[in-house]
Amino acid sequence: MATTSSSPRPSARRLTETPARVLRPAAIGIALLVNLAYVLVLTDVAGYDLRTPAGFGQPAQSILISVVIAASVVPALLGWGLLELLERFVPRRATVIWEALTALVFVASLPYNGAGVTASDQLLLALMHLIVGVAVIPAFVITSLRRS
């Protein structure tokens, strides 16, 4: 007769026990890889000319892979640094404060009406932001809650 235990599968247990120093950079790496795949499929396979809005005196231009890399990694690293500071100075409220700030930054960073971009461009760029958020935010929150 087989017995079953109520403990999680070994692979699930390893994930929940994975330390923040491993899970957080892994989440950033996953966000970057998924975003790169998304842009490459969109531009190279589908042939779509994804454009960034005009800004800082520059006209709208086709998106560059270097911009995708920077836009995927830099905000995530800044968010990680902010979360680490909050965990150090206000450990009991760090996650709540960080989540509120993350929501504000996410909404503020969405591509709104910009010269030279279409509604399709805005939607596709917003999906890139969402990809990073979906990969990074839950991983950071889970690791932060485990520390409290």
Between 3 and 141, the higher pLDDT residue:
141
Percent of the chain surpassing pLDDT 70: 86
**pLDDT-derived band at 61, boundaries 50, 70, 90:** confident
**pLDDT-derived band at 4, boundaries 50, 70, 90:** low
Among 144, 126, 25, residue whose Cα is nearest residue 71? 126
Q: What mean pLDDT value characterizes the chain?
A: 86
Residues in contact with 85: Cβ distance below 8 Å, sequence separation at least 6, in sequence order: none
Residues 15-60: pLDDT tens digits? 556 788 899 999 999 999 999 999 999 999 999 999 888 777 788 8
The span from the CA of 49 to the CA of 120, in Å, is 10
The span from the CA of 66 to the CA of 85, in Å, is 28
Q: Which residue has the tokens 């504000």?
A: 104
Residue 70 has which token pair? 């920077």
Q: Quick check: 146 pLDDT over 50?
A: yes
**pLDDT-derived band at 12, boundaries 50, 70, 90:** very low
Residue 29 has which token pair? 């790496």
Exposed e or buried b for every residue in 26-64, given b needs 16+ CB within 10 A? ebbebbbebbeebbeebbeeeeeebbbbeeeeeeeeebe
Beta-carbon count within 10 A of 96 CB: 13
Please report, for residues 8, 116, 134, the alpha-carbon distance to residue 13 in angstroms, rounded to integers and kept in the order given.
6, 49, 21
